[in-house]
Amino acid sequence: MKKEHKDIIKKAIRDIEDFPKEGIVFKDITTLLNDGKAYDLLIEHLAHRYRDYNLDFIAGIESRGFIFGSSLATKLGIGFVPVRKKGKLPYTTISEKYSLEYGVDEVEIHIDAFRDVKKAKILLIDDLIATGGTAYAACNLINKAKAECVEVCFIINLKALEGDKKLKDLAPVYSVLEF
Q: What is the pLDDT of residue 13?
A: 98
Instruction: Yes or no: say if 132 and 163 are a contact pair by the CB < 8 Å rule.
Output: yes
* Catalytic machinery residues: 64, 101
Which residue segment(s) compose the domain that 136 sits in? 52-178
Residue 5 pLDDT class (50, 70, 90 cuts): very high
CATH of the domain at 84: 3.40.50.2020
What phi-psi label fits residue 162: left (phi over 0), alpha (psi between -120 and 50 degrees) or beta? left
78 assigned to some structural domain: yes
158 assigned to some structural domain: yes
Alpha carbon distance 34, 17 (integer Å): 20
Instruction: Yes or no: say if 139 and 172 are a contact pair by the CB < 8 Å rule.
Output: no
46 assigned to some structural domain: no
168 assigned to some structural domain: yes
- For the cut 80, the answer to whether the pLDDT of residue 91 exceeds it is yes
User: Which residues fall within 8 angstroms of residue 91, CB to CB, at 6 or more apart?
Assistant: 110, 111, 112
40 assigned to some structural domain: no
85 assigned to some structural domain: yes
Q: Look at the pTM and tell me if it is higher than 0.85.
A: yes
Q: What is the pLDDT of residue 103?
A: 85
Alpha carbon distance 30, 91 (integer Å): 30
Q: How many domains does the chain have?
A: 1
pLDDT digits (tens, 9 = 90+) for 17-74: 999 999 999 999 999 999 999 999 999 999 999 999 999 999 999 999 999 999 999 9
